[in-house]
Structure 1
């Protein structure tokens, strides 16, 4: 069986450099003070929708309300200036278009001794004079993937302490804790791939969930890029419902649109653009580990009715819990 997902015609990326230094002449930095890997591409794209630069006084910046940690958000608001690097390009030009834009933002951050943030992943992009900068080759682990961790039961006590070291909370079940954690990727939709989500997780094991998220995202994105490089012939792409990693059946996907019955709207996590530039909604793909994959991870399967999958191997795998 296969599922389909809509692929947008174009996608956008935004990178925000916060600095106390006045950005006087950005054209002297981009492309000339960028790393060599993306300098020529930046020169050709500068001034087009593929690469635009804007400088704001922070008090007037539309990026004062990014979805960041409290500490990062404080730094964003205390900085005197924001330099915003934006790239909007046809989806088949990804990931290069996003890489060129981030390379430009890195150059600006280094020149003005600022901090670089990616609003889509909700995190800082670290850089230093000794670091290799933006590599020519694309690696998802190079700060391209973020995640959102939340609790399905907003009134539950575990919402106050998510994370790998979260303490046991009232209401946790005897099998190892609550199972109301939701972990959703952030950043895949800039490449035209839907964000993916894991549900039914124990709050004490959010770190395990993030590891699973990365493991699933890498082959999905690699297949997506291969499809884009061949030239999209349809606004939707079909993928196998059962995902294999290193030759082993790893996860079962859910969601998507059924082409035979027509496109459907897939509700997705929204990370709106304060500048008014909205990416096309990409929806969510649900992910569930197979029994074999769960046995090799720090997560185990809980079957419907609260039974542990290890005691009932003949049942269909259920939700992921600690």
Structure 2
């Protein structure tokens, strides 16, 4: 039986540029000081919901409390100005609408020597004069995907707090299996976020790599479906996800537009080739069987 998830009519992206320089003339930057790949699209979208610009004094900015790491959050609060680039567009216009908005934010960050943050992924978007800027073609690995990595048990001895970064607790014993890894960023494209639970804290980076593969495959199918023309408000997908012709994962969950998640359980063959292995609920490793807890993996 397939899984059905709701696809919103439109989605939004927000990018925040923090800078100490006073942003006095944004019209001279957008679109003229942007990379050529998205310059024309930005010119056409500017002033519409697809591309709006707002400037705030840092002390009055609604983006002072973004879900970022401690050092990034300190930089956000210490900056004098926030330039907020927002894009709201029909989901059929993704990922281009988000790319144009981020390209505009890159241009502003470069012009005012600022730092660029994506509140949805909870991370900085890096840029430099020698970098290629925003690509014409979309690649999920270009800072479009973030991860929330935490321990399901607040006081667990592994040392991972509820908001600990990926890689923390790497010295923990391999018996730990309290890790929860959840994607950040897929919903801007109209796709539910994905999560994998019961992981070993010592290998959180491996879990992120595995889930990124799942995200790339799901998003490719999602975009292909959006491109077929008129669509319904929901899309059905098979529970078994195939990657490069191989059964890769089993999906479960009942996603909704507010906070629904797709849960991921790797197939035994894929687990055997990765740095993760299945673990029985009782703590004994062995040949995986249907009675295993879905998604219960350990390094």
TM-score, structure 2 length as denominator? 0.94
The residue number in structure 1 matching 2:51 is 51
Query: Distance between the aligned counterparts of 2:77 and 2:71, measured in 1?
Result: 10
- Quick one: structure 1 residues 225 and 167, their matched pair in 2 at CA, closer, same or farther if it must change by over 3 Å? closer
Deviation at 1:111, TM superposition (A): 0.3
Deviation at 1:312, TM superposition (A): 2.4
Deviation at 1:168, TM superposition (A): 4.7
Deviation at 1:156, TM superposition (A): 1.8
- Quick one: structure 1 residues 20 and 151, their matched pair in 2 at CA, closer, same or farther if it must change by over 3 Å? same
**Runs (4+) off by over 6 Å:** none
- Quick one: structure 1 residues 313 and 16, their matched pair in 2 at CA, closer, same or farther if it must change by over 3 Å? closer
Report whether the alignment pairs 1:106 with 2:83.
Answer: no
- Quick one: structure 1 residues 121 and 179, their matched pair in 2 at CA, closer, same or farther if it must change by over 3 Å? same
Deviation at 1:282, TM superposition (A): 5.1
Picking from 180, 187, 190, the partner of 1:189 is: 187
Query: Distance between the aligned counterparts of 2:230 and 2:240, measured in 1?
Result: 22
The residue number in structure 1 matching 2:287 is 312
The residue number in structure 1 matching 2:146 is 146
Deviation at 1:154, TM superposition (A): 1.5
Deviates more, 1:158-167 or 1:126-135: 158-167
Is the Cα–Cα contact under 8 Å of residues 183 and 199 in structure 1 kept in the other structure? Answer: yes
Deviation at 1:231, TM superposition (A): 2.4
TM alignment of 1:203-214, pairs within 5 A: 203-214=201-212
Secondary structure of 1:230's match?
Answer: coil
The residue number in structure 2 matching 1:166 is 169
RMSD: 1.5
The residue number in structure 2 matching 1:272 is none
Deviation at 1:114, TM superposition (A): 0.4
TM-score, structure 1 length as denominator? 0.88
Query: Distance between the aligned counterparts of 2:190 and 2:171, measured in 1?
Result: 38
Q: Gaps spanning 5+ residues in structure 1: where?
A: 258-265, 267-279
Report whether the alignment pairs 1:288 with 2:265.
Answer: yes
Secondary structure of 1:307's match?
Answer: coil
Deviation at 1:213, TM superposition (A): 1.1
Q: Number of aligned pairs? A: 294
Query: Distance between the aligned counterparts of 2:194 and 2:60, measured in 1?
Result: 34
Secondary structure of 2:92's match?
Answer: helix
The residue number in structure 2 matching 1:275 is none
The residue number in structure 2 matching 1:72 is 72
User: Could you list the per-position Cα deviations for residues 39-91 of structure 1 after superposition, in whole angstroms to 9, with x for gaps in the alignment?
Assistant: 00000000000000001110111100000000000000010100000000000
Deviation at 1:162, TM superposition (A): 6.1
The residue number in structure 2 matching 1:271 is none
Report whether the alignment pairs 1:216 with 2:214.
Answer: yes
Is the Cα–Cα contact under 8 Å of residues 50 and 87 in structure 1 kept in the other structure? Answer: yes
Q: Gaps spanning 5+ residues in structure 2: where?
A: none
Picking from 157, 175, 178, the partner of 1:177 is: 175
Is the Cα–Cα contact under 8 Å of residues 162 and 204 in structure 1 kept in the other structure? Answer: no
